[in-house]
Amino acid sequence: MCAWEEPGIVAWDLFATGPATAAPAAWAGFAPPGERADPFDGLWLMRSLCESVEIRMVDGRMRLRLRYGGKGNAERL
């Protein structure tokens, strides 16, 4: 995990602990989790709390970049 501050924003990079076989589907996390458990169910919570969630594959590992600006700072993203 890596965290830093940008003007009005706190950002985090979270890396998967092991090699990822594939990134989640582009639409993952835009709807609440269904009845069946899915490894990416937590994305809905992240997308609900953060103004920006980026998912990328970096050197064979999945990276989540989260940005939280707090109330009134989302327009700075």
- What pLDDT digit, counting tens, does each position of 9-29 carry? 899 999 887 776 677 888 888
pLDDT at 62 over 90: no
Q: Exposed, middle or buried by CB within 10 Å (0-12, 13-18, 19+), for 65?
A: middle
DSSP3 helix / strand / coil % (the chain, rounded to 5): 15, 35, 50
Q: Is the pLDDT of residue 65 over 90?
A: yes
Place of tokens 């940008």: 6
Question: What's the pLDDT at 13?
Answer: 94
Query: pTM surpassing 0.85?
Result: no
Q: Round to whole Å and give the CA distance between 11 and 13.
A: 7
Looking at residue 75, what is its pLDDT?
53
Average of per-residue pLDDT across 67-71: 81
Q: In the prediction, which pLDDT does 71 show?
A: 65
Q: Are 11 and 76 in contact (CB under 8 A)?
A: no
Task: Please tell me the distance from the alpha carbon of residue 34 to that of residue 9, in angstroms, as a whole number.
Answer: 31
